[in-house]
Amino acid sequence: MITGKYSTYKSTCSYCGVGCGLEVKKDCKGKIEVTGDSDHPVNGGMLCSKGMNLHYTMMDHADRLLYPQMRWNRYSELKRVDWQTAIKRAAAVFKSIIANHGPDSVAFYVSGQCLTEEYYLVNKLAKGYIGTNNVDTNSRLCMSSAVAAYAQMLGEDAPPFSYRDIELADCFVIAGANPAWCHPILFRRIEARKAADPGVKIIVIDPRKTQTCSNADLHLQINPGSDIYVYNAIGKLLIQNGAIDYEFVQNHVEGFEAYKKSVMPLRIEEAAAICGVEEHEIIKAAQFIADSNAMLTMWAMGLNQSVIGVEKNKALISLNLITGQIGKPGGGPFSLTGQPNAMGGREVGGMATLLPAHRKLADPAARREVADFWGVDKIPSIPGMTATEMIDGLEAGRLKAIWIICTNPLVSLPNLNRVESALQKAKFVIVQDISSSADTLQYADLVLPGAGHFEKEGTMTNSERRISYLSKVIEAPGEALPDGDILIRFAREMGFAGFDFKNPSEVFNEHCQLTKGTNTDISHLSYDKLKRQGTMQWPVTAARPNGTERLFEDKKFYTLTGKAQLFPLSQPANRSAMPTEAFPLILTTGRIRDQWHTMTKTKKVSKLNQHIDKPFLEIHPDDALVRNISNGEMVTICNDNGQVTVGAKVTGNIKKGVVFLPMHWGKVLKNTSGRANNLTSDLIDPTSKEPDFKFAAVQVRKFAKVREKIIVVGAGAAAYRFIMSYRERNRLDEIQVFSNEPYPFYNRVLLPEYINGHFDWEKLLKIHHGQLEKMDIDLRNNCGIISINKVDKWVEDNNGARHQYDKLILATGSRAFVPKDAPMGLPNIFTMRMRHDADSLREKLHPGASVLIIGGGLLGLELAAALREMDIQISIVQLGGRLMERQIDALAGQLLLEIADEKDINVYLNDQVQHITLEENRLKAQLRSGAELRADAIVYAVGTRPNIEFASGAGLESGRGLIVNDHLQTNDEHIFAIGEIAEHRGRLYGITSAAEQQADIVANYLQGDIFAVYKGSVLMNILKFSDFDLCSIGLSEIPVNQDGYDEILFIDKSMRYYKKCIIKDDRLVGAILVGDKTEFAEFKNLIENKIELSERRMELLRSGKKGESLLGPVVCTCNNVGKGNLQGKIDAGINSLNALCQATGAGLGCGSCKPEIQEMLQQSNEMVAV
């Protein structure tokens, strides 16, 4: 639909399985924006923080794979090739391997993010034409236990519920799930349901006190792995108290007596002890269920990702069956899906043990039916390798080639060290992806660039069986192709006849016809119907042309008898790797609010990185205490599979004996110690083949660093920040500092105020007498370093003494630049870098004296202003056409020039000092313009140069500075450079804030934090005039011949009031503030963190009212509200959630931060009560 300057498309979010509807607006330049579809039955216009920022992900092509790449042999680099070459290579290798080793020597590992049509194509290709069932998906990692339980109990993988049941239920049992963070739009609906009827009960069963607990009436904080005991205990109580639906059980359920026989002997006190909860809590949960009219059980990975995941699912679903809470409004078992099209993948048979339309691979008639439909001889009967079995196959050599599509197994699979080893052994690896940051690329022999979301058309099915049509909105960048097109090209190159599809619609139609007569029948569905009528829930048949909201309302199940099946549920032995003396803690893994899976998409959105920007370990205070671990300290988590090093988060929200790690992070600069799945085992559920992500035995220790000697060369801002930051974390290492000045650790920026007497010397000192001794810092004044021996790891000082080091921190700063022809031998000619310079100049000054300053940058201007306060006559000669020409634009320069004139500072622009002589004890400067200036002193303030000569002479790689990586390491891993000498990604940063950032990063990195990564700094300039505000941040002007930039201007020349914002890709990238810099902190935060503006763009420079800046850690990503902002309002007396959200703007976006806000309110109320 085209409206005004926008074209509007309907689509569906590509993140979790909730399937929120989107409206995508595209302007005439191809730029897109995303909003929630207010007419969509799933979300009614709401979006979570991830969904509302999806367009930023798709418009950011910085990491996109743009063309096919290939290695000509295993040890060569990836090289660009054309599509014909790439497809021919793929086909040739697959043909060769199949001919020599059989069809089961190749496999396809695909993704729940693939469209249904893409799933269908790869399934048909592998099972029908290549002749292998080795097709599996990363959905195996999240949904397969629920699928198996549904199939055993209901007869088929048939989730019976509708989201509309949320508004009809009066009891929610949420087990092993945190929908407040992981499925926030559904949780918003649960919150709204409870708000409308406070009598609605919410029971949470989880080893962690998650954000979902904020609205819970009861939290059963069970021990990991004990789930079946608590469900069986509740089942016993329901039976014992007559709170089951006997009529439903008698007429529509089989196996009740065996189930009853298995649960009744369980003593409630025994179950409570095993689960680690109170007996009365189990009784209360059973009573809530008994009192309910409509109960939804909801669960996710806490049940599924277990070696007994299928049994856990069956135990929970049993509660629905014995109470008749299925196939009725408001009642049913509701598995919360993690992937956007996990269900669509299962519909087409896109798993190693399935055939299309949920046909069973073990059924010969089903195999024959599918083979005939596809026009092939047969479908193989042997089940294919599942996700982890593919790794087994690669490691054992049975599997020779693997084609990985749209997934990142080197972050998401368990026991990653073994996965890496297996991929190294593969004969041929194809990676088909959109992102160049996918960890598997290092093992790829062939890389195929896929099209992303909005760049192709197709369908997806969400958790409630709702099928959505996704429009193609934009073109894929470069040579990237839709995944379906790539598979079709490959199939044709292989010589297969069944792939003459002209478009995705034809693929979908074939899939629909293959469902005819099955329980997933969508034979009356088409793209046209979906476009006309919107989303539909399967089945969609002649009898149900508009879809089916809820299954089993007729009480007829998909089993052979038409009855649901109960099973005896004696607690099976937990086959997880149990805690031992060596590994006494239980590790569980999971997700956080604003990231999704392996972060190849969400990490590109700066807003989403503000809430939690690196992994952490949740640990109970008692477990932390016995290990001497404090909050925020680096800890190492280890077991026989590997180890991880992250910061500790000491919290009572986790049970004693249990620790939690988020699973999203992969390698950082080739370092793997942040990957949670280094620790998880490759044990799997024997039925579902789903890995045991939620239970691993580990030990946790404070990060143990070998005592080292650290030498710091330099005593400026960078060195000061490093020693302060390092000593906060480490009191054991020896630190020795070498300063070539007699006066270390002072604020050079304030030298002008020292000269005019505004500050005495003590005010400039950063470290005062005795402080270094208390910190155990060995400072050597007037002792410079002249050489470095990298091999033997020593430095030599200017006295000839050698000093050994383990780590060397170079922070030598810069020296003043002076032109080669500057007559520095003449008296009274100065630079301004050290106290000696300031003292020397001050001796020459007297009221009425004149000083010529060469250079009209920050230093020159601030020195000029300081000297004018002493009644010194000032002239400035500036080579360029305006003052601060590198920091501000022409208009700001004009306003600054007017201020200089008012201060009686004589400014000579576009001019240059060509000659200086001494006449009658005064200096005479001859300018290029012909002017002659006489002065009592001349100060050169024309820039600086890094002090790197002694270091580059030692073989350290250098350019303008010492070249460093993202950890600030030079080409010698033991030597770091920070401050003005560090050249990072081709840039030098000569500002104090950058030096301090770099120092903190090195200090953290040396303490084991691999996520201490430098990404560059934003250049900032604040002119320190006492009566005039001027600052710039980031860009001051749009780069020449660069597209995509916008400017927002506010100008009042007569008042010398000027504000300018420069925007690119909906991010503030530069700002100038003249006359008023109250927005400085806000703009600095936006620019530094590259935060997407969204609706905030309309408020820049327009509100007439100063908005509150972000205070403290981010709580609300949508509206950039910090913990400090919220606490300030709480302290001011706001004590209700709604009022606090309205006052701060937090929680008014996706709402997923509301549990965190609620917790703050509760803590505040508890403190008041005490």
**Residue 528: partners with Cβ closer than 8 Å, 6 or more residues away:** none
Taking 70 as the threshold, does the pLDDT of residue 36 lie above it? Answer: yes
- Beta carbons within 10 angstroms of residue 219's beta carbon: 21
Please report the pLDDT score of residue 1159 as a whole number: 79
The 10s digit of each residue's pLDDT in 657-714 is 999 999 999 988 888 999 999 999 999 999 999 999 999 999 999 998 999 999 999 9
**Is the C-alpha dihedral spanning 332, 333, 339, 345 positive or negative?**
negative
Q: Which burial class, exposed, middle or buried, applies to 1021 when counting CB atoms under 10 A from its CB (0-12, 13-18, 19+)?
A: middle
The Cβ-side half-sphere exposure at 176, using a 13 Å CA radius, reads 32
Q: Give CA–CA dist 124/374, Å, rounded.
A: 8
Beta strand pairing call for 850-854 and 873-877: parallel
The 10s digit of each residue's pLDDT in 513-565 is 999 999 999 999 999 999 999 999 999 999 999 999 999 999 999 999 999 99
pLDDT tier at 204, thresholds 50, 70, 90: very high
The 10s digit of each residue's pLDDT in 345-386 is 999 999 999 999 999 999 999 999 999 999 999 999 999 999
* DSSP class per residue in 642-667: -EEEEEEEE-TTB-TTEEEEE-----
Task: Name beta bridge partners: 481.
Answer: 450
pLDDT tier at 1117, thresholds 50, 70, 90: low
The 10s digit of each residue's pLDDT in 593-605 is 999 888 888 888 8
Please report the pLDDT score of residue 1168 as a whole number: 55
**Residue 250: partners with Cβ closer than 8 Å, 6 or more residues away:** 256
Q: Please, are residues 205 and 590 in contact by the beta-carbon 8 Å criterion?
A: no
Please report the pLDDT score of residue 1106 as a whole number: 53
> By C-alpha distance, which of 612, 611, 632, 649 is closest to 1114?
611
Six-digit token string for 691: 């890995």
Question: Please, what is the Cα angle at 1073 between 1071 and 1078, to 5 degrees?
Answer: 110
Please report the pLDDT score of residue 953 as a whole number: 83
Residue 1109 DSSP class: P
Please report the pLDDT score of residue 1078 as a whole number: 83
* DSSP class per residue in 432-483: EESBTT-GGGGG-SEEEEBP-TTSS-EEEE-TTSEEEEE---SPPSTT-B-H
The 10s digit of each residue's pLDDT in 397-456 is 999 999 999 999 999 999 999 999 999 999 999 999 999 999 999 999 999 999 999 999
Task: Name beta bridge partners: 295.
Answer: 171
> By C-alpha distance, which of 183, 188, 219 is closest to 201?
219
pLDDT tier at 1155, thresholds 50, 70, 90: low
Beta strand pairing call for 987-988 and 1020-1025: unpaired
Q: Please, are residues 674 and 614 in contact by the beta-carbon 8 Å criterion?
A: yes
- Distances in Å between the Cα of 380 and the Cα atoms of 97, 384, 405, 513, 730 are 18, 9, 23, 22, 62
Structural domains of the chain, ranges and CATH numbers in brackets: 2-59 (3.30.200.210), 69-141+341-496 (3.40.50.740), 145-335 (3.40.228.10), 585-615+633-699 (2.40.40.20), 709-816+949-1006 (3.50.50.60), 829-942 (3.50.50.60), 1108-1170 (1.10.10.1100)
Please report the pLDDT score of residue 1169 as a whole number: 53
Q: Give CA–CA dist 529/522, Å, rounded.
A: 11
Q: Which burial class, exposed, middle or buried, applies to 1133 when counting CB atoms under 10 A from its CB (0-12, 13-18, 19+)?
A: exposed
- Beta carbons within 10 angstroms of residue 1015's beta carbon: 11
Q: Give CA–CA dist 773/1057, Å, rounded.
A: 49
Q: Please, are residues 300 and 176 in contact by the beta-carbon 8 Å criterion?
A: yes
Beta strand pairing call for 69-70 and 79-80: antiparallel
Please report the pLDDT score of residue 598 as a whole number: 87
Output 472-476 pairs: Cβ under 8 A, ≥24 positions apart. Answer: 473/9, 473/11, 473/24, 473/26, 473/32, 474/26, 474/30, 474/32, 474/58, 475/30, 476/449, 476/450, 476/451, 476/452
Task: Name beta bridge partners: 567.
Answer: none
Beta strand pairing call for 785-789 and 794-797: antiparallel
Q: Give CA–CA dist 754/760, Å, rounded.
A: 6
Please report the pLDDT score of residue 783 as a whole number: 96
Mean pLDDT of 1147-1165: 74
Q: Which burial class, exposed, middle or buried, applies to 860 when counting CB atoms under 10 A from its CB (0-12, 13-18, 19+)?
A: buried
Q: What percent of the chain has pLDDT over 90?
A: 86
498 alpha carbon, distance to own chain's centre:
41
Q: Give CA–CA dist 1129/1108, Å, rounded.
A: 12
**Residue 561: partners with Cβ closer than 8 Å, 6 or more residues away:** 254
Please report the pLDDT score of residue 1145 as a whole number: 80
pLDDT tier at 468, thresholds 50, 70, 90: very high
pTM of the model: 0.90
- Beta carbons within 10 angstroms of residue 920's beta carbon: 6
Q: Give CA–CA dist 1158/595, Å, rounded.
A: 21
* DSSP class per residue in 66-130: -S-EE-SSTTSPPEE--HHHHHHHHHHHHHHHHHHH-GGGEEEEE-TTS-HHHHHHHHIIIIIII
> What phi and psi values does residue 905 have, to the nearest 5 degrees?
-95, 120
Taking 80 as the threshold, does the pLDDT of residue 152 lie above it? Answer: yes
Q: Decide: helix, strand or coil at residue 359.
A: strand
The 10s digit of each residue's pLDDT in 315-330 is 999 999 999 999 999 9
Beta strand pairing call for 709-713 and 696-702: unpaired
Q: Give CA–CA dist 733/1008, Å, rounded.
A: 14
> By C-alpha distance, which of 419, 375, 371 is closest to 399?
419
Residue 1107 DSSP class: P
**What would you measure as the largest C-alpha separation in the chain, in angstroms?**
117
Six-digit token string for 472: 């193609």
Q: Please, are residues 82 and 68 in contact by the beta-carbon 8 Å criterion?
A: yes
Question: Please, what is the Cα angle at 294 between 292 and 300, to 5 degrees?
Answer: 105
